[in-house]
Structure 1
Amino acid sequence: MRIHITSVFVEDQEKALRFYTGVLGFVKKHDVPLGGGARWLTVVSAEQPGGTELLLEPSGHPAVPPYKAALVRDGIPAVSFAVDDVQAEFERLRGLGVEFTMEPTRMGPVTAAVFDDTCGNLVQIVRTGP
Structure 2
Amino acid sequence: MKIYISSLMVTDQNKARDFYTEILGFVVKHDIPLGEHSWLTLVSPGNEDGPELGLEPAEHPAVKPFRDALMEDGIPATSFAVEDVYAEYERLLALGVVFTQKPTEMGPVTVATFDDTCGNLIQISSYAG
TM bin, normalised by shorter chain, reads: over 0.9
Q: Which residues in structure 2 correspond to 1:100-111 (within 5 Å)? A: 100-111=99-110
**Residue deviations 1:24-73 (CA, integer Å, cap 9, x gap):** 000000011122x0110001101311110000000010000111100010
Partner of 1:99: 98
Which 5+ residue runs of structure 1 have no aligned equivalent? none
Matched, 1:25 2:28: no
For 1:2 and 1:38, how far apart are their aligned partners in 2? 27
What is the deviation of 1:128?
A: 1.2
- Structure 1 ranges of 4+ moved more than 6 A: none
The residue type paired with residue 120 of structure 2 is N
For 1:114 and 1:39, how far apart are their aligned partners in 2? 27
Partner of 1:77: 76
For 1:79 and 1:23, how far apart are their aligned partners in 2? 17
User: TM-score if structure 1 supplies the norm length?
Assistant: 0.97
Matched, 1:129 2:128: yes
For 1:92 and 1:46, how far apart are their aligned partners in 2? 17
What is the deviation of 1:129?
A: 2.0
User: TM-score if structure 2 supplies the norm length?
Assistant: 0.98
Partner of 2:57: 58
- Matched residue count: 129
Partner of 2:85: 86
Partner of 1:112: 111
Aligned-residue identity in percent = 61
Partner of 1:46: 45
What is the deviation of 1:2?
A: 0.3
For 2:16 and 2:69, how far apart are their aligned partners in 1? 20
Which 5+ residue runs of structure 2 have no aligned equivalent? none
For 2:61 and 2:47, how far apart are their aligned partners in 1? 33
